[in-house]
Amino acid sequence: MSETQKNAAQNIDYEKERLEILKQYRGLLSVCRHWISKEEIKQIRKAFSFALQAHKDHRRKSGEPYIYHPISVGKIVVEEIGLGATSVVCSLLHDVVEDTDYTLTDISEYFDDEVARIIDGLTKISGIFDQTNSVQAENFRKMLLTLSDDVRVILIKLADRLHNMRTLDALPPKKQLKIANETLYLFAPLAHRLGFHTIKSELEDLALKYTDPEIYKSISRKLMESEEERNRLIANFTYPIKKALDEQNMQYTIIGRTKSISSIWGKMMKQEVPFDEVFDVFAIRIIIDTPEEREKTDCWRAYSIVTDIYRPNPDRLRDWISTPKANGYESLHTTVMSKQGKWVEVQIRSKRMDDVAEKGYAAHWKYKESKAAESGIDKWLNRIREILKTSEKDALDFIDDFKLNLFSDEIFVFTPKGELRTLPVGSTALDFAYSIHTKVGDQCLGAKVNHKLVPLSHPLKSGDQVEIITSVKQKPKSDWLNYVTTARAKGKIKSSLKEARKKVAEDGKEKLDRKLKQLKIENNQENIQKLVSHFKLQSPLDLYYDFAIDKLDIKDLKAYLSEQEKGGILSYLRNPFSKPAKTPAEKQQVDPIRQKLKEKPDTLLIGDSMEALDYTLSPCCNPIPGDDVFGFVTVNEGIKIHRNNCPNAVQLMSKFAYRIVKAKWYTGKAIAFLSGIKVRGIDDMGILNNITNMISSEYNLNIRSINIDSNAGTFEGTVMLYVNDTQHLNNLISKIKKIKGVKQVSRIGK
């Protein structure tokens, strides 16, 4: 224990902590009491005592007793996810096996096999998301396999991550960024896919708080400032709707909900508008309390009432009641014009639908009579199993395929017999063929979409009716991989191509063996591997295949031997495939970046002329002094510097955490850095001259390029220029905004 920790330990008020632990535990019991039995309360008490004893010497990074964390996870599991007593027990025990001397056998003896199995699943997946290693496919597969055994494992893990994100302030900035990006990359989409909209939104908001704190603070402040006006708008908007619903004797609740900060920021970036111009900052939700058999009718009745009062936007109607989303979400969405001239999104759903939307698949278990709900989760878990079976070994490809297929929006298409099938957005006719059966995909010649002949690569839209044309003579081709987006189709095509390639390679292996004998070279594993390396191939299979199709021949072997001979006749005679020894100069060039990083473990200083490490500023986000940045060790291009909120940061930090290095700006001298701004406004006489004068005369900045387009009285343009730092750039943006006719100025990439 360090001196600081000892001093902190001496200042702890243990009696106060004991009372706080009891208070939190009673809080957990109070949210459970109304639906669990006395026997289940005994089990929860037993789990709490066990966890309290196991973690008695453990503290969180904040200095708090560790037991606060499992109690909080238990509360989330009950209140926000809606799970039962077994899940509360497992939440209290979820870190015991990993962090203490207790084993799964102990858990099984003290509790039961079901609890032990869930704890085992949680322990197996905890190492995937530690704070040093990158996410790897094998571990991710383990997590998903566990999920498909018992979905409670992933739900407790989701609750665990949510509480960790709520208490992320205690960690150092580098770990905050890594965990926030990982949450955006995997956990938020997973929460979305399981139907936990509220949790997904909170995870995205909390991640934004650490990946782009300025944006988070700015939108939070604007939401607070506009709260009073928003509440007034909601009250005025809902008054006539309430009156009409009351006249129809409908039982309902109306809620005005502000959109999440991350959702608002997403709209600002997508639509390239400031906060004030995001038209649907809030949404109105009408929840109808009605029996399940009348849900659909009553929701459409409410829709009719709303659209009688306010004019709807016909392009914004979304009917997820007739065709629910794959995660079980059911609701009617429409956007209507308010009396104040603002568009307002209205969501209409039943009480059961709202419960499912807020608490995902856990809520489905409360409504077990709903067969659609049960089949929905079964279909989703089956799709996970399918991907686990067909995925390739490459870790990053696997995760990208997984995200693409399970976290994307869906389209709904029909077979010729009218059967409904769900596919990810962007799916093609060939994806549809493989979704029916592997054999149908492998033998697919073409397709008819809405009775018209289309190519295999034809993208499908919701409502399309698709008929697949097959032939027993057809076989998968390598270019088919460019025609598909689903992991199932990609996996099946790769598998078929690999099998065909293996058969051809068997002939190539015999052919190569004969040629090596001609040259009196032994056909052993070491020599084959050297040939693979020399010809820049991936594996011996590729080598055999190239010999089978005559891409390589004996002349290529002779050319290689000739090279070896020039390298040293003596070494050639001893072993024709030996590599010449590295010279001292060559040895010095081996992996210089990693060597220098070992010698200089501190933060990389950008702009320091004495800095020995090779780095470049990444063109994808054009960082400048004042931006929060990190370094990424590339394979061939040294270290690349990215902004923390760079569009590529999420993937880099999630996939390659071990290649991230801390970086900060050296402020010893002023250096010019390339940056860019986007300007929009009214195309008035002399406005371009006013902008360029502001940049070059008043601010003495060098302009690298200007690109301006005008259209029907408006203009839009980009200016690339050299600036000293973010403050310099922000001052310039503020000044340009004041020029008459300029309506919007923003930094490129922000």
Pairing of strands 604-606, 660-665: parallel
Residues 136 and 255 in one domain: no
Q: What is the DSSP letter of 106?
A: H
Residue 678 to residues 428, 620, 734, 745, Cα–Cα distance (Å): 36, 15, 13, 6
Residue 507 to residues 106, 233, 411, 523, Cα–Cα distance (Å): 56, 76, 44, 15
Query: Exactly one of 17, 20, 79, 99 is catalytic; which is it?
Result: 99
- For residue 669, the model assigns a pLDDT of 56
Q: CA–CA separation, 249 vs 648, rounded Å? A: 53
Spell out the alpha helix ranges (H) of 575-695: 584-588, 592-599, 649-655, 687-693
Q: CA–CA separation, 162 vs 200, rounded Å? A: 9
Distance between start and end Cα atoms, the chain? 44
Residue 620 dihedral angles phi and psi, to the nearest 5°: -70, -25
End-of-domain residue from the set 475, 492, 509: 492
Q: CA–CA separation, 416 vs 448, rounded Å? A: 10
Which helix or strand (DSSP H or E) is residue 134 part of? Answer: none
Residue 27 to residues 44, 132, 548, 677, Cα–Cα distance (Å): 13, 34, 71, 52
In a domain, 91, yes or no: yes
Residues 85 and 25 in one domain: yes
Tokens of 91: 């939440």
Residues 288 and 170 in one domain: no
Quote the domain boundaries for residue 352.
220-367
Q: CA–CA separation, 507 vs 604, rounded Å? A: 53
- For residue 379, the model assigns a pLDDT of 58
In a domain, 581, yes or no: no
How many domains does the chain fold into? 6
Q: CA–CA separation, 47 vs 90, rounded Å? A: 8
40 labelled catalytic? no
Residues 274 and 356 in one domain: yes
Backbone CA torsion sign across 202, 205, 209, 211:
positive
End-of-domain residue from the set 576, 597, 626: 576
Residues 313 and 445 in one domain: no
Pairing of strands 615-617, 639-643: parallel
In a domain, 244, yes or no: yes
CATH number of the domain residue 483 falls in? 3.10.20.30
What percentage of the chain's residues is helix, strand, coil (to nearest 5)? 55, 15, 30
Q: Which residues, including other chains, have CB under 8 Å from residue 3's CB and lie 6 or more apart?
A: none
Is the separation of the CB atoms in 347 and 319 below 8 Å? no
Query: Exactly one of 98, 113, 292, 394 is catalytic; which is it?
Result: 98
In a domain, 197, yes or no: yes
- For residue 656, the model assigns a pLDDT of 73
- For residue 425, the model assigns a pLDDT of 82
In a domain, 582, yes or no: no
- For residue 490, the model assigns a pLDDT of 85
Q: What is the DSSP letter of 479?
A: G
User: Which residues of the chain register pLDDT less than 50?
Assistant: 1-7, 127-139, 148, 365-375, 391-396, 568-574, 576-591, 593-594, 597-599, 601, 609-610
- For residue 430, the model assigns a pLDDT of 92
Q: Is 169 exposed, middle or buried (0-12, 13-18, 19+ CB in 10 A)?
A: exposed
CATH number of the domain residue 299 falls in? 3.30.460.10
Polymer length in residues for the chain: 750
Q: How do residues 545-573 score in pLDDT, each as one tens digit? A: 877 777 777 777 777 777 666 554 434 43
Residues 78 and 198 in one domain: yes
Residues 64 and 111 in one domain: yes
Compute and round to an integer the Cα radius of gyration of the chain.
31
98 labelled catalytic? yes
CATH number of the domain residue 163 falls in? 1.10.3210.10
Residues 150 and 200 in one domain: yes
Q: CA–CA separation, 21 vs 169, rounded Å? A: 21
The partner residues of 680 in beta bridges, in order of sequence, read 716, 744
Tokens of 106: 């102990």
Residues 480 and 506 in one domain: no
pTM of the model: 0.64
E-strand ranges in 134-266 read: 252-258
For residue 381, which of 701, 653, 149, 628 has the smallest C-alpha distance? 149
The partner residues of 336 in beta bridges, in order of sequence, read 312, 344
- For residue 400, the model assigns a pLDDT of 55
In a domain, 90, yes or no: yes
User: How many C-beta neighbours within 10 Å does residue 378 have?
Assistant: 10
Residue 722 dihedral angles phi and psi, to the nearest 5°: -100, 125
End-of-domain residue from the set 492, 507, 531: 492
User: How many C-beta neighbours within 10 Å does residue 279 have?
Assistant: 13
Residues 156 and 47 in one domain: yes
Which helix or strand (DSSP H or E) is residue 746 part of? Answer: strand 742-747
For residue 174, which of 741, 693, 662, 718 has the smallest C-alpha distance? 662
- For residue 666, the model assigns a pLDDT of 65
Is the separation of the CB atoms in 544 and 508 below 8 Å? yes
Is the separation of the CB atoms in 534 and 558 below 8 Å? no
For residue 602, which of 666, 646, 680, 678 has the smallest C-alpha distance? 666
Residues 440 and 299 in one domain: no
Residues 566 and 713 in one domain: no
In a domain, 677, yes or no: yes
How many alpha carbons lie under 13 Å from residue 468 in its C-beta half-sphere?
A: 26
